[in-house]
A and B are shown apart, each in its own frame.
Chain A
Amino acid sequence: MHEQKTPFIRLAKRDAMPGGQVWCIRALSFVAALLLGAAIFLVLGRNPFAAYATIVSGALGKPTAIRQTVRVAIPLLGTALAIAPCFKMRFWNIGAEGQITAGAVAASYFALFWCDALPGPLLILVMAAAGAAAGGLWALIPAFFKARWGTNETLFTLMMNYIIIGVVKWLQGGPWEGRPGSQIIPQFDQKAVLPKVLGVHCGWIIVLALTVFMFVYMRYTKHGYEISVIGESENTARYAGMNVGRVIMRTMFLSGAISGIVGFMVASGANNTLYDGVAAGVGFTAITVAWLAQLNPFAMVGISGLLAVLEKGADTLHTRMSVPASISDIITGIFLFCMLGCEFFINYKLIFRGRHEEVSKA
């Protein structure tokens, strides 16, 4: 009699799912994203197979293409690693964009004005240290207010992005401008450029080292333990005698410092100069990378690689099949939605109407 009041589908929390099934669901979501992307290509009147083939060959087909893809992946991975401890702590740092830029500004200062005073390797080291310090301090400002008065960190860190980007615009057209009226900061001296290893600036070695460091830091150190306790429950952490404010500030400084190093690598290794688009949205995309990897540093390597392939491949798609370049953002978005959504099927199970017995037996 109450049959019509039972919803057609009900939800229940699942206990831990076997690992194989989890990966099965993730693979399915990947396939779903591919199919949705294919639908978009069909709407545009392009052959989806050809389009995907172009993306893959454009990103991985030639050694030069692979190098460019790696160059896209480096800042993405580095920033995702930087964000991971903050998110583990449930501190929503969406200011990596600004922290990258702050690091790039500090590194550029030394590249531009200390070039003659310092010998080559030392200059690079000083640039890296300055980048880390500046990124860290830029992140420390919102962390301080969060720790002291609970100021909303999501918007604080976001606003800090626009502030530092505005500062770069001012530097570009003002004090650091190269040729008057050009609005461009001059190229760095060769001494201030990161050396290349295997054809790509050596940033890739740095981020891979950082990957291992972050894995160990989050999993096997006291700091990492404190971060995860605070993320689970701030009250528990306080009860256990942890100084929550100090951990927040320390973690944010570390996070900002890594972002700052990414800024240094991009300015010195990839662009050889500083401009207002130095972060180029990496700070935002990296958040999704970190989250999709479930804050596991090694998984981030794969996911940042995947997004880099998409972005580089979409560039090729743009030139070869005259599809607007913004298709990469659309496809990236679709992948993110699918992969975010699929966690639901891992954590919950659906119960269809009229199948109670089966469920109670299970």
Chain B
Amino acid sequence: MNIQTLLLPLIMAAIINGTPLLFGTVGEILSEKAGNLNLGVEGMMYMGGAMGLGAAFYYESLAGTSANGIAAVALALLFSFLGGAAGALIYSFVTITLRANQNVTGLALAIFGTGAGQFIGEYMRVTSGGYVSISLELKTFFENSPFPAFLQDIPVLGPLLFGHNIFVYIGVALAVSMSLFLNRSRAGLCLRAVGESPATADAAGVNVTRYKYLATVIGGGISAIGGMVYITTIAGSVWNHEGLSGEGWLAVALVIFCLWRPLNALWGSVLFGALMILYLRLQLPFIPDQLYKILPYVVTVIVLILTSLRSSKDKQPPASLGAAYFREER
């Protein structure tokens, strides 16, 4: 059967590869909706990846054989979130309180975060004798589906609905609740107002600074979880040098691709995940692998051009994206 042998594995792999991007994108959407263009996603994902892997690794070496997989996953989630939130907090302080240029500060965060992530990773490797990895038993909690086998054994639907690792479900829940929060809650409305026109929001009594800080820090934390998900589900829970290269930047691009809508990120991330692994699954004649691998970037460029061609009103970035807000300046 063609679907089960060719298409299904492709979709499954696309979902796994898209999940880190989903976290990265949803977090960045939250930040950008509040008017903060944080280009440091790559850095925050590095920090999250190193901190999350470190949390699972040290938890296991402390708990020994009694290590609990669920606790390890929870700790990895928590610490990767904290890692990214810490990076985003620096960014927030410099751009929101000190009103520095967001583009440049974001790039500085990308440099700093990549360095910090690499540093933590290398430090763990050196102090633990050359190799940071978690045990096979623990890895199954990160990589395998949390659902019982009989559900996954249902043909086609089983793997599609129940066959993914736990982060896929967390990511989907996060994207849906982010969409509900932004579009259906009062706080979400205020947050969007801050991103569109902070002066108006300020006049309406919304605390602009608080919204900007919270959105950027929480968004950064969510983005950083993506780094941890990448390390634990795709890179085999081992810290290596080039592990993340480009994921964070792709997430920034995906935000535009999704037109700042978390629900679009659901299929957008799967599509990008598919583009990233297509060269492994679907060989094309005359096109070498290395050129095939640039497909996601080429597609992003095409999408950028297309969205600028049909410049409809509801497909634009938040109006004050990238601008610092100072109350006395009109």
Contact = CB atoms under 8 A, between A and B. Distances in A.
Nearest to A153: B304
B300 interface: yes
A284 B107 contact: yes
Interface stretch (B130-138, B193-201, B246-254): B246-254
B305 A288 contact: no
A329 B253 contact: no
Contacts of A287: 103-104, 107
Contacts of B107: 94, 284, 287-288
Contacts of B109: 333
Interface in B93-152: 93-94, 97-101, 103-105, 107-116, 118-119, 122-123, 126
Interface of A: 11-13, 92, 94, 145, 149-152, 154-156, 158-160, 162-163, 166-167, 169-170, 173-174, 281, 284-285, 287-288, 291, 322, 324-330, 332-334, 336-337, 340-341, 343-344, 347-348
Residue from A166, A174, A328 with most neighbouring chain B CB atoms (10 Å)? A166
Interface string B10-44: 00000000000000000000000000000100000
A330 B119 contact: yes
Contacts of B328: 11-13
Contacts, number: 152
Interface string B267-282: 0000000000000000
Contact of A337 (B39, B94, B256): B94
Interface string B296-324: 01101100110011010000000000000
Interface in B221-252: 246, 249, 252
A92 B99 CA distance: 18
A173 B100 CA distance: 43
A144 to B, nearest CB: 10
Contact of A285 (B93, B111, B293): B111
Contact of A155 (B111, B114, B256, B326): B256
A333 B111 contact: yes
B298 A145 contact: no
Contact of A324 (B113, B122, B309): B122
B301 A326 contact: no
A13 B328 CA distance: 8
14 contacts: A92-B103, A149-B308, A151-B308, A152-B304, A154-B39, A159-B253, A163-B298, A287-B103, A324-B123, A324-B126, A326-B115, A343-B100, A344-B99, A344-B100
Given A285-B111, A340-B105, A341-B93, 19 more contacts: A11-B327, A13-B328, A94-B107, A150-B308, A152-B304, A159-B297, A159-B300, A166-B297, A167-B290, A288-B107, A288-B111, A322-B126, A324-B122, A324-B126, A325-B122, A329-B116, A330-B112, A330-B119, A337-B112
B290 A329 contact: no
B63 interface: no
Given A158-B249, A285-B111, A329-B111, A324 B118 contact: yes
Given A145-B305, A291-B101, A328 B115 contact: yes
Contacts of B305: 145, 149, 151, 156
B155 interface: no
Contacts of A152: 256, 304, 308
B308 A173 contact: no
Contact of A329 (B118, B123, B252, B308): B118
Contacts of B285: none
B291 interface: yes
Contacts of A288: 104, 107-108, 111
Contacts of A281: 111
Contacts of B119: 324, 326-327, 329-330
Nearest to B123: A324
B118 A155 contact: no
A337 B90 contact: yes
Interface string B71-95: 0000000000000000000100110
A158 B103 CA distance: 12
B290 A173 contact: yes
B104 A162 contact: no
Query: A-B pairs with the 8 shortest C-beta distances?
Result: A329-B115, A333-B112, A166-B294, A170-B290, A326-B118, A344-B98, A336-B108, A324-B122
Contacts of B249: 158, 162
Given A13-B329, A288-B104, A288-B107, A155 B290 contact: no
Contact of A341 (B98, B103, B111, B327): B98
B294 A163 contact: yes
B246 A162 contact: yes
Contacts of B308: 145, 149-152
A158 to B, nearest CB: 6
B288 interface: yes
Contact of B300 (A155, A167, A174, A341): A155
Contacts of B114: 326, 329
Contacts of B301: 156, 159-160, 163
Contact of B100 (A145, A150, A340): A340
B117 to A, nearest CB: 8
Contacts of B252: 155, 158
Residue from B109, B112, B249, B311 with most neighbouring chain A CB atoms (10 Å)? B112
B98 A291 contact: no
B112 A334 contact: yes
A337 B300 contact: no
Contacts of A156: 301, 304-305
Residue from B100, B327, B329 with most neighbouring chain A CB atoms (10 Å)? B100
A287 B253 CA distance: 19
B291 A167 contact: yes
